[in-house]
Amino acid sequence: MKITLLEERAGQPYPERAFTSEIVKIGRDPLECHVVFDQGEWPMVSRRHAEFRQRDGRCLLVDTRSRFGTFIDGKRVVDPREVRVGDRAQFGPGGPLMRILAIEETPVAHAAKAREGSFRDRTTLRDVPDDSED
């Protein structure tokens, strides 16, 4: 998946950021997260706060047991929730706000779908050795 996010602060947009990954992690941990927020400025953001995940051609936002919660357009995310272009994700009440500008399915996601429906990963009769030739 490729997702493009735009951080908004006090109504002012910051530069947009694009990520190409099946999972895009949000939080304060710079070793684990793609989008990192400073604890001093954003104390309501957990170390590993939330994730955008690609599943079945959809982009889901998952709260990863954050302390203060994750919100989409003001509604708390309890279960994985589909996000769409134009939605606003907020990480904790009064926390950073990110607008979803674009969501694209990447070739990796297409390949995974094709592989799931193919016979390549399954054993066929051709793959089983014939013991009668001994």
Residue 132's pLDDT is 52
Please indicate, yes or no, if residue 124 is contained in any of the structural domains: no
Please indicate, yes or no, if residue 126 is contained in any of the structural domains: no
**pTM of this structure:** 0.78
Please indicate, yes or no, if residue 130 is contained in any of the structural domains: no
What span, in angstroms and rounded, lies between the C-alpha atoms of 76 and 66? Answer: 12
Residue 4's pLDDT is 97
Taking only the tens place, the pLDDT of each residue in 72-99 is 999 999 999 999 999 999 999 999 999 9
Confidence of residue 68 (pLDDT cuts 50, 70, 90): very high
| CATH, residue 21 | 2.60.200.20
Q: Could you give the number of structural domains in the chain?
A: 1
Q: Which domain holds residue 98?
A: 2-118
Please indicate, yes or no, if residue 131 is contained in any of the structural domains: no
Backbone angles phi, psi at 110, to 5 degrees: -60, -45
Confidence of residue 106 (pLDDT cuts 50, 70, 90): confident
Please indicate, yes or no, if residue 10 is contained in any of the structural domains: yes
What letter would DSSP give residue 63?
Answer: E
What span, in angstroms and rounded, lies between the C-alpha atoms of 63 and 120? Answer: 35
Cβ burial 86-114 (10 Å sphere, 16+ → b, else e): ebebbbbeebbbbbbeebeeeeebeeeee
Please indicate, yes or no, if residue 133 is contained in any of the structural domains: no
- List the beta bridge partners of residue 15: none
Taking only the tens place, the pLDDT of each residue in 8-34 is 988 888 999 999 999 999 999 999 999
